[in-house]
């Protein structure tokens, strides 16, 4: 049964190509919003809290601070409205899911930047 589902997903669903990003990275997600007959592009910039799932059911959670309130948004990787993903900064964290960031404020909530040569 699993192989049949995997076959159908591979054949009929087109997977979008996005740059590699992991938890701790700061990314900007551009997605389309439809309001009535009009459509516009909106972006959401924040820190990746986690990536969950695999294949077509994969999702990622982004957290940003809007004033003093933390806002989190979950994006499916294969969402049709998703237009592009930009990686702004690479973060250096030691966990795959950084839920502890929710409890931190101010300078403690900063993530060190990961430096590497390409």
What is the domain extent for residue 60? 25-99
Residue 100 vs residues 28, 50, 76, 105, 109: alpha-carbon distances, Å: 21, 11, 22, 11, 9
pLDDT of the residue at 59: 94
The sign of the CA dihedral 72, 75, 41, 22 is positive
Flag whether 112 is in a domain: no
What tokens appear for 5 in the block? 């589902």
The pLDDT-based confidence of 117 (bands split at 50, 70, 90) is low
Flag whether 40 is in a domain: yes
Please, are residues 78 and 60 in contact by the beta-carbon 8 Å criterion? no
Rounded to whole angstroms, how far apart are CA atoms 15 and 88?
A: 22
Flag whether 48 is in a domain: yes
- pLDDT tens across 39-95, in order? 999 999 999 999 999 877 899 999 999 988 999 999 999 888 999 999 999 999 999
The total domain count for the chain is: 1
CATH of residue 42: 2.30.30.790
Flag whether 82 is in a domain: yes
pLDDT of the residue at 64: 94
Residue 115 has pLDDT above 60, yes or no: yes
Please, are residues 54 and 65 in contact by the beta-carbon 8 Å criterion? no
Residue 118 has pLDDT above 60, yes or no: no
Contacts of 105 (CB under 8 A, 6+ apart): none
């Amino acid at each position: 049964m699993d192989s049949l589902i995997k076959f159908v997903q591979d054949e009929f669903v087109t997977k979008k190509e996005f740059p590699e990003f992991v938890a701790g990275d700061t990314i900007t997600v551009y997605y389309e919003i439809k309001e009535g007959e009009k459509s516009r592009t909106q972006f959401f910039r924040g820190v990746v809290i986690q990536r969950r799932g695999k294949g077509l059911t994969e999702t990622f959670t982004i957290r940003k601070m809007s004033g003093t309130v933390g806002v989190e948004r979950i994006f499916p990787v294969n969402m049709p409205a998703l237009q592009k993903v930009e990686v702004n900064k690479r973060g250096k964290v030691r966990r795959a899911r950084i839920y502890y960031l929710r409890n931190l404020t101010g300078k403690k909530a900063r993530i060190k930047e990961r430096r590497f040569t390409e």
